[in-house]
Structure 1
Amino acid sequence: MKEQKISGLLKLLKLNKQPATKAVLVLGSGRSGTSVLTKGLHFMGVDLGNDKFIKPTKVNPKGYFENEHILNLHKKIGSKLKFRPSPEGYENQRNIKQYRKELEDYVRETFSDKPVWGWKDPRTNDYLALWKAILKDVNAEPHYVIIIRNPIDVVSSNIRAWDRDEMWALRQWQLRTLLSLRDTFGGKRVIVSYEELFDTPLECLRRISNTLDLPWPKDEAHLQEQLDEFIDPNLQRSRSDIDLDAFKERDDLTDDVKELYLLALEGVRSQEYFDSQAYHDRVEALYQRYLKDYGTLERNPPTKEKKPKPV
Structure 2
Amino acid sequence: MFNCIILGSGRSGTSMVAGTLNGAGYFMGDRIMSPTRINPKGYFESKNVEAINEELLSQVVPARPRGIIGNFFKNRPTRNQRWLARIPLEKKVHCSQEIAEKIESLTQKQPFCFKDPRFCYTLPAWRPFLMDTVFLCIFRHPAATASSILKVREKQKYLHNFSINFGQALQVWELMYQHILKIHIHKGKWLFIHYNQVLEGTGLDKIEEFIDGNVDRNFPDASLQNSDSFEPVSAKIYEVYEELCQLANYKE
TM-score, scaled relative to structure 2: 0.77
1:153 aligns with 144
Equivalent of 2:132, from 121, 133, 141?
Answer: 141
The CA distance in 1 between the partners of 2:211 and 2:118, in whole Å, is 25
After superposing on structure 2, the runs of 4+ consecutive aligned residues of structure 1 that deviate more than 4 Å are 86-89
Equivalent of 1:214, from 212, 215, 228?
Answer: 212
Q: Which amino acid aligns with 1:193?
A: H
Equivalent of 1:118, from 113, 118, 128?
Answer: 113
2:18 aligns with 38
2:93 aligns with 90
1:196 aligns with 197
Distance of aligned partners of 1:160 and 1:213 in 2 relative to their CA distance in 1, 3 Å threshold:
closer
Distance of aligned partners of 1:118 and 1:213 in 2 relative to their CA distance in 1, 3 Å threshold:
closer
Q: Does the 8 Å contact 1:46/1:215 carry over to 2?
A: no
Q: CA deviation at 1:87?
A: 5.3
Q: Which amino acid aligns with 1:216?
A: N
Identity among equivalent positions (%) equals 25
Q: CA deviation at 1:263?
A: 1.0
Is 1:66 paired with 2:45?
A: yes
Equivalent of 1:233, from 216, 222, 231?
Answer: 222
Q: Which amino acid aligns with 1:207?
A: K
Q: Which amino acid aligns with 1:214?
A: D
Q: Does the 8 Å contact 2:59/2:94 carry over to 1?
A: no
Distance of aligned partners of 1:86 and 1:74 in 2 relative to their CA distance in 1, 3 Å threshold:
farther
2:188 aligns with 187
The CA distance in 1 between the partners of 2:89 and 2:229, in whole Å, is 32
2:7 aligns with 27
Q: CA deviation at 1:86?
A: 6.9
Is 1:107 paired with 2:131?
A: no
The CA distance in 1 between the partners of 2:18 and 2:36, in whole Å, is 17
TM-score, scaled relative to structure 1: 0.63
Give me the CA root mean square deviation. Answer: 2.3
Q: Does the 8 Å contact 1:41/1:205 carry over to 2?
A: no
Q: CA deviation at 1:235?
A: 1.4
Q: CA deviation at 1:240?
A: 4.3
Structure 2: runs of 5 or more not aligned = 63-86, 155-163
Q: Does the 8 Å contact 1:151/1:173 carry over to 2?
A: yes
Q: Which amino acid aligns with 2:225?
A: Q
**How many aligned residue pairs are there?**
216
The CA distance in 2 between the partners of 1:231 and 1:90, in whole Å, is 34
Q: CA deviation at 1:63?
A: 1.1
After superposition, give the CA deviation of every residue in 1:176-199 in whole Å (9 maximum; x if it has no partner).
111223312241111010111112
Q: CA deviation at 1:213?
A: 4.6
The CA distance in 1 between the partners of 2:132 and 2:53, in whole Å, is 20
Q: Does the 8 Å contact 1:85/1:126 carry over to 2?
A: no
Q: Does the 8 Å contact 1:27/1:180 carry over to 2?
A: no
Q: Does the 8 Å contact 1:91/1:97 carry over to 2?
A: no
The CA distance in 2 between the partners of 1:66 and 1:36, in whole Å, is 11
Q: CA deviation at 1:262?
A: 0.9
Q: Does the 8 Å contact 2:4/2:211 carry over to 1?
A: no
Q: Which amino acid aligns with 1:121?
A: D
Alignment of 1:165-176 (within 5 A): 165-176=165-176
Q: CA deviation at 1:269?
A: 0.8
Q: Does the 8 Å contact 1:150/1:261 carry over to 2?
A: yes
The CA distance in 1 between the partners of 2:211 and 2:24, in whole Å, is 12
Q: CA deviation at 1:58?
A: 1.8
